[in-house]
């Protein structure tokens, strides 16, 4: 292994012959309505730091019990996560992450001078006894269901347990729900409590990742206010044209999301079945668009697959899961099948 791999090695890398199971960005187009609304758009001035009120009202209408004042519109879920961590914690506070985790969580925690506290999972599901043991020492718990990189969805019983435990201990619960609309195996469970911060985004459900539009909301208005204070002196308002497009997305009939989910489910079935047929050990994805099979020497595998077979995958090391490799199935069925064929050729060598 001579080359140090990082997400930057692959982000934006493409070409007609490359099959990319790398980046987690949907290939499906956004709803056409989001482009129609900007044809005559003329606004160019700074916008309100917490976000345009009409968008915040539309988001509140989708989340019973909340008003627009509970919302901050951000540069993707990424900024919402950063603002939340900065708003709630002071240096050296511990933030609980379940392993495997989204690859930005650990750097985000560390860059904010905080410390990750890792909780185990069993087949991608949070290990409740490990959680119970470690939760007392943390400032906040960050959960992500459906998960990137496992595609697993936490059970309702687990979510209720975490909800109660964090409420009883007065611990902030940050719920990264960017894949909440992309669940195949069960209905969603909406967490509720005084110190829950929910993070979401238009990147995945509406395929609008490059527009950088996300949001956070919480009943705890002190966290919302602190997030706005930080944003005032950092990124200021989120792109107002993206907010206009997001507003149009909130008005799109729910059928749009249902159609997306049926495409994702078919792809999930193709890759899951294909990887099993190649003899790989993996957990069945229940949501999102990732799968994390066991593959030995995962970094070497990723390098070889890229250099020799023109297939991009991400090593489990980035997600706290060495010995596994993440495949994003955000590409059409034909390409998934072609990628599986190349993988089969590699595994036969
Ligand atoms: C779990 C998770 N959270 C947050 C993000 C960042 O999303 P956004 O594009 O909204 O910043 C991603 C992107 O892949 C993700 O997988």
The 10 Å CB-count burial string (b at 16+, else e) for 35-64 is eebeeeeeeeeebebbbbeebbebbbeeee
* Cβ of residue 181 lying under 6 Å from some atom of ligand 1: no
Q: Pick the residue with more confidence: 100 or 16?
A: 100
* Cβ of residue 201 lying under 6 Å from some atom of ligand 1: yes
* Cβ of residue 150 lying under 6 Å from some atom of ligand 1: no
Half-sphere exposure of 154 (CA within 13 A, CB side): 28
- Examine the pLDDT at 112 and tell me if it is beyond 70: yes
Place 7 in a pLDDT band, splitting at 50, 70 and 90.
confident
Q: Quick one: pLDDT at residue 231?
A: 98
Q: What is 233-265 written as a DSSP string?
A: TTT-S--HHHHHHHHHHHTS-THHHHHHHHHHH
Q: Quick one: pLDDT at residue 299?
A: 93
Domain positions in the chain are 7-24+255-348, 33-250
If 0-12 CB within 10 Å is exposed, 13-18 middle and 19+ buried, where does residue 141 land? buried
Q: Quick one: pLDDT at residue 1?
A: 46
Distance 178 CA to ligand 1 centre (A): 6
Place 257 in a pLDDT band, splitting at 50, 70 and 90.
very high
Q: Quick one: pLDDT at residue 348?
A: 86
- The one-character DSSP state at 287 is B
The mean pLDDT value for 327-341 works out to 96
Distance 115 CA to ligand 1 centre (A): 20
Q: Are 335 and 305 in contact (CB under 8 A)?
A: no
In 3D, which of 238, 244, 225, 212 has the Cα closest to residue 46? Answer: 238
Q: Quick one: pLDDT at residue 186?
A: 82
In whole angstroms, give the CA distance from residue 269 to residue 246: 30
Distance 279 CA to ligand 1 centre (A): 30
In whole angstroms, give the CA distance from residue 147 to residue 289: 9
If 0-12 CB within 10 Å is exposed, 13-18 middle and 19+ buried, where does residue 177 land? buried
Distance 347 CA to ligand 1 centre (A): 31
- Domain boundaries 7-24+255-348, corresponding CATH code: 3.90.1150.10
* Cβ of residue 93 lying under 6 Å from some atom of ligand 1: no
* Cβ of residue 77 lying under 6 Å from some atom of ligand 1: yes
* Cβ of residue 176 lying under 6 Å from some atom of ligand 1: yes
- Examine the pLDDT at 149 and tell me if it is beyond 60: yes
> 251: which 2 tokens?
């008005």
Alpha helices in the chain, H assignment, sequence order: 7-10, 33-36, 53-61, 76-88, 105-111, 128-134, 156-169, 221-232, 240-250, 255-277, 298-309, 333-348
The neighbour count for residue 347, using CB atoms within 10 Å, is 12
Q: Do 7-24+255-348 and 33-250 have matching folds?
A: no
Which class is 33-250 in CATH? alpha beta
H/E segment holding residue 6: none
Q: Quick one: pLDDT at residue 3?
A: 66
* Cβ of residue 141 lying under 6 Å from some atom of ligand 1: no
- Examine the pLDDT at 307 and tell me if it is beyond 60: yes
* Cβ of residue 75 lying under 6 Å from some atom of ligand 1: no
Average pLDDT of the residues of the chain: 95
Q: Quick one: pLDDT at residue 238?
A: 98
Residues 6+ positions from 92 with CB-CB distance below 8 Å: 113, 114, 115
Place 14 in a pLDDT band, splitting at 50, 70 and 90.
confident
Distance 143 CA to ligand 1 centre (A): 13
In whole angstroms, give the CA distance from residue 321 to residue 327: 13
Q: What are phi and psi of 185, to 5 degrees?
A: -105, -20
């Amino acid at each position: 292994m001579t080359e140090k791999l990082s997400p930057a090695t692959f982000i934006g890398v493409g070409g007609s012959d490359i099959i990319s199971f790398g980046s987690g960005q949907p290939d499906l187009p956004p709803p056409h309505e989001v482009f129609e609304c900007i044809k005559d758009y003329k606004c160019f001035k700074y916008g309100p730091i917490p976000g345009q009120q009409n968008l915040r009202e539309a988001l509140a209408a989708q989340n019973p019990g909340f008003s627009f004042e509970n919302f901050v519109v951000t540069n993707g879920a990424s900024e919402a996560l950063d603002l939340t961590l900065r708003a709630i914690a002071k240096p050296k506070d511990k933030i609980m992450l379940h392993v495997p985790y989204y690859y930005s969580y650990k750097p985000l925690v560390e860059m904010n001078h905080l410390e990750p506290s890792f909780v185990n999972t069993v087949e991608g599901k949070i290990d409740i006894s490990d959680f119970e043991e470690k939760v007392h020492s943390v400032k906040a718990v960050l959960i992500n269901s459906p998960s990137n990189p496992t595609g697993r969805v936490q059970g309702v019983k687990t979510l209720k347990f975490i909800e109660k435990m964090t409420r009883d201990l007065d611990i902030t619960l940050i719920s990264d729900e960017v894949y909440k609309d992309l669940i195949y195996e069960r209905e969603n469970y909406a967490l509720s409590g005084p110190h829950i911060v929910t993070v979401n985004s238009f990147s995945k459900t509406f395929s609008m990742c490059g527009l950088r539009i996300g949001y956070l909301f919480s009943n705890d208005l002190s966290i919302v206010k602190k997030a706005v204070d930080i944003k005032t002196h950092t990124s200021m308002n989120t792109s107002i044209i993206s907010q206009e497009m997001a507003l149009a997305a909130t008005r799109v009939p729910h059928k749009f999301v249902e159609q997306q989910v049926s495409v994702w489910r078919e792809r999930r079935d193709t890759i899951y079945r294909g990887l099993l047929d190649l003899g790989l050990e993996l957990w069945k994805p229940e949501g999102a668009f990732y799968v994390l099979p066991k593959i030995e020497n995962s970094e070497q595998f990723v390098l070889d697959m890229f250099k020799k077979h023109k297939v991009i995958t991400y090593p489990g090391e980035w997600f706290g899961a060495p010995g596994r490799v993440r495949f994003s199935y955000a590409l059409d069925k034909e390409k998934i099948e072609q990628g599986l064929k190349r993988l089969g050729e590699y595994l036969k060598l």
